[in-house]
Structure 1
């Protein structure tokens, strides 16, 4: 039996949906399309060498590092973002952290508390995982 993929607002394929009532504690690795309407407390990253798109809805919250080729934000991210292809900040996007990008689109109303840093050609496709000492310094580690 063939599995038909759902579609999201702008025609993006959706393989995984984290609903508004879901709270996830821990790291999440994925490929394909991921839509987050709930909350994730941990690192969100793409499987190495796989296409991946993260769409964070208005009600969505990620507290942790995001390392995904394509990132579309209309919710809140508290942590650094690394988008090796493209990052889009929609009107209700709120990002507290630095954004590393190749291509960026920021709509009126989006808020960034941090720095935009362009990724030069030849930089590694994915950032290294934070070491335990770095994890202890993150706000969510202090609240755990």
Structure 2
């Protein structure tokens, strides 16, 4: 796999790169650092109990639910995001969906069409406001 220096020290190394010419149709399960410049149509899920960081580049897009401890978005995201630790929305982020988070950072210019739902607002394992259950890893993720 790819081992590169971190873009930001707190984000971590990139283990997997999905390049700009790649489209994945189906679910992606990973651990470590996943950097998406291409397109994913399906769920993006971190391995249970593993440290994981998803970075969506400006030219990248995801259509589907995301369940990852740390999510950095600078591209187009359509679907709900469950970040067990933190979500960062960069200036070019365009998100349509609800963001479930413990900590959120939003840069000027980022756009969100959906709701921000803080982790403490709902007990772990309880149904969310829209009727979907929160991921099990929410209660057990090691931040």
TM-score (norm 1): 0.82
Count of residue pairs the alignment pairs up: 125
- Indicate the RMSD between aligned Cα atoms, in angstroms: 1.7
4+ residue runs of structure 1 moved beyond 6 angstroms?
none
Map 1:61-140 → 2, pairs under 5 A: 61-120=61-120, 123-124=124-125, 127=135
SS at match of 1:85: strand
Match of 2:130 in 1: none
Match of 2:49 in 1: 49
Match of 1:10 in 2: 8
- Aligned equivalents of 2:44 and 2:2: distance in 1? 24
Any stretches of 5+ residues in structure 1 without a counterpart?
A: 129-144
- Aligned equivalents of 1:48 and 1:6: distance in 2? 24
Match of 2:129 in 1: none
Deviations 1:5-42 (A, max 9, x none): 21242243000000000000000000000000000000
TM-score (norm 2): 0.82
- Aligned equivalents of 1:13 and 1:28: distance in 2? 18
SS at match of 1:6: coil
Match of 1:38 in 2: 38
- Aligned equivalents of 1:24 and 1:45: distance in 2? 14
- Aligned equivalents of 1:122 and 1:15: distance in 2? 32
Shift in alpha-carbon separation, 1:113–1:25, aligned structure 2, 3 A:
same
